[in-house]
């Protein structure tokens, strides 16, 4: 599908898909949203120093970049699923490195590094990209955090089903959790139906709430 680069309110780029009228990030601020949902309430919330993270939707690489930047006090194994990687023509123009004072070539390397392999990006951050949908993902390891960053339920309903969240529940370790920007009632109820305990947190700019779904010791 055709993608267009847009500027969000915090000055960061995002991508817009005209066919489905959807953006990759909040128009209220791409970096602001990712920092609030996935770094503040995800990465920084977990007390462990060694973390195994699974991202659902590598997309522009913004979540991976911000996790890399904020991984200095933690050791991160960063696993990310993306069945439809964006093109060089697009990722080479994204301005995230400017706004985060990060090296451009290092940001580009997040996209150009080999898929299906562990790539040591820094001493604290190892990247493993897979061209796979979550539904086809069969890695046996357990994850401490899942960054659930699929398109909105009305745009990508197949990613917000009971079966998908059941799989996420089973992929998370006993002290782990899932974080997502979406806080719709139906999403909360579906997460609860597979055993998650829901925390409704203050949302990023432009959103009233977000969700942190904690794993419980039993599955309903």
Q: What is the 3-state secondary structure (H, E, C) of 193-219?
A: HCCCEEEEEECCCCCCEEEEEECCCCC
- Across the range 143-161, mean pLDDT stands at 96
The pTM (predicted TM-score) of the whole model is 0.96
Q: Determine which of 25-39, 81-95, 128-142 has the lowest per-residue pLDDT on average.
A: 128-142
The rounded mean pLDDT for the chain is 95
Per-residue pLDDT tens for 174-208?
899 999 999 999 999 999 999 999 999 999 999 99
Residue found under tokens 């997309």: 59
Count Cα atoms within 13 angstroms, Cβ side, for 11: 6
Helix axes 185-193, 162-171, angle to 10 degrees: 60
Of the pLDDT bands very low, low, confident and very high (cuts 50, 70, 90), residue 14 is very high
Per-residue pLDDT tens for 75-101?
999 999 999 999 999 999 999 999 999
> What pLDDT, on the 0 to 100 scale, is given for residue 217?
53
> What pLDDT, on the 0 to 100 scale, is given for residue 216?
76
**Helix or strand (DSSP H, E) at 80:** strand 75-81
Residue found under tokens 């791409």: 30
Per-residue pLDDT tens for 46-81?
999 999 999 999 999 999 999 999 998 899 999 999
Q: Kindly report the CATH number that applies to the domain delimited by 29-214.
A: 3.40.50.150
> What pLDDT, on the 0 to 100 scale, is given for residue 73?
87
> What pLDDT, on the 0 to 100 scale, is given for residue 153?
96
> What pLDDT, on the 0 to 100 scale, is given for residue 219?
41
Cβ(197)–Cβ(214) below 8 Å: yes
């Amino acid at each position: 599908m055709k993608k267009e680069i847009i500027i969000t309110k915090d000055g960061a780029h995002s991508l817009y898909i005209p066919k489905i009228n959807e953006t990759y990030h909040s128009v209220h601020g791409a970096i602001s949203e990712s920092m609030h949902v996935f770094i503040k309430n995800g990465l920084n919330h977990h007390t462990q120093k060694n973390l195994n993270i699974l991202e659902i939707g590598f997309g522009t690489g913004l979540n991976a970049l911000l996790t890399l930047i904020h991984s200095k006090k933690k050791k991160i194994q960063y696993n990310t699923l993306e069945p439809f990687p964006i093109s060089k023509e697009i990722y080479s123009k994204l301005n995230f490195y400017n706004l985060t004072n990060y090296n451009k070539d290092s940001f580009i390397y997040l996209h150009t590094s080999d898929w299906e392999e562990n790539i040591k990006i820094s001493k604290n951050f190892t990247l493993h990209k897979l061209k796979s949908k979550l539904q086809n993902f069969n890695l046996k390891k357990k994850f401490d955090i899942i960054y659930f960053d699929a398109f909105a339920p009305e745009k990508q309903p197949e990613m917000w089903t009971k079966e998908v969240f059941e799989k996420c529940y089973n992929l998370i370790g006993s002290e782990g959790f899932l974080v997502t920007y979406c806080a719709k009632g139906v999403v909360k109820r579906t997460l609860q139906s597979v055993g998650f305990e829901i925390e409704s947190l203050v949302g990023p700019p432009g959103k009233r709430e977000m969700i942190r779904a904690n794993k419980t010791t039993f599955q309903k």
